[in-house]
Structure 1
């Protein structure tokens, strides 16, 4: 998802290269390397000594720095370009950046070992990793399909349906997972089927949000089917011609190209 968002933000900005390219690459490698030494933040409740808790808390919080570099670069590339605000892919990019940042903030909260001991195995943790992981993977799939579908298939997608799909998805996602932060802060553990009656109405909202999210996934499949059956062929390309794939005639020919493209 990081690569997809970075690549598409670069294309939309029409710049010669991604903003802070070296910083983006360094941030990516930093996240990968730090990911190898933060495993114990899942084990703050097993009775580790104070030095171990302090080390793994600090390293976990440190991941926020390279992640922040990437978020700032994405926002800068989007804000410095003449955005097509009606484009659904822009809606998805902005939604991804905002919700991913919110999920990252809750991750910083959980990086503190003393707080994590209180919130461990609660619904707060479920809300955190769904905002970061589930949203990131789903948004990455949707954004990539929206962006490359016309090039691969040769038919355009209905922008009105895509905008409606974006709104439905974001509403369903937040309705499903946002209340879980409150559950966790109230001390409600995960993986329980019986809980206090005061949580019933919020649990109903979460269930409604899950149904809305499921509907949005089915709705997206319908949008793809509508694209194939409507017959609206792609006739032009406004994207950054600095990429070899954008200099070709859309849709791409089947199996192979008729001639080699010259890349300077």
Structure 2
């Protein structure tokens, strides 16, 4: 039997209405961004996890709307150097084989304890011996330690250099080290309870804080004086350029608390081992 053209057309329409046709794929890939820890050359890898039933053809990486790289094979990755590159405003676009596109949420690269920290050291009479600002912009995270790396300077601009903040001595301690030179320490110590606390000033503003004790050192790394050590995180942003800063927040805290009472017996610090460990000397 031969069917007329109108009958064939009607049959096709009925099949489509009843679900006989295939629904077009209009959905882009599932897409999320994650990051690695900082490696020995201070690079962090951003990885785009992109999946789609039809397959993923490519992933584009953007920063503040500017295309930075395109990757056509998994794992889809883009590398950022935390010492030289801006670490904010990353997005990715993933394309499936049907031409559908998904865009990720904005992603910022972060490192351990990053940002601006004001610091101060005090004697047992609550005298402020020295103060300044540290900026942590890198990290060492492995099976042994989780440590932020940065640079510091004091308010009088007579001291400066490498500083560390994190689990230096062990996984259960919170420690800080300020180097005077490549081979000697300025001061080092431990948080009293092994973890960051929150300090609220009389202004009502609260800050993540390191509050502990330690010691200063001479040029030969011999302990000189027991000190109280206070550090306040005044910003979680890593500044592109570090302007001259003073530790005004530390000075406010000193005015409302007896910080010299934090002085404790010097903790054993193997200065040579810390400063000669290559993983702490990236820069």
TM-score range, shorter chain: under 0.3
Greater RCO, 1 or 2 (C-alpha within 8 Å, sep 6+): 1
| Structure with greater strand percent | 2
* TM-score, scaled relative to structure 1: 0.24
* TM-score, scaled relative to structure 2: 0.23
Largest Rg, 1 or 2: 2
| Structure with greater helix percent | 1
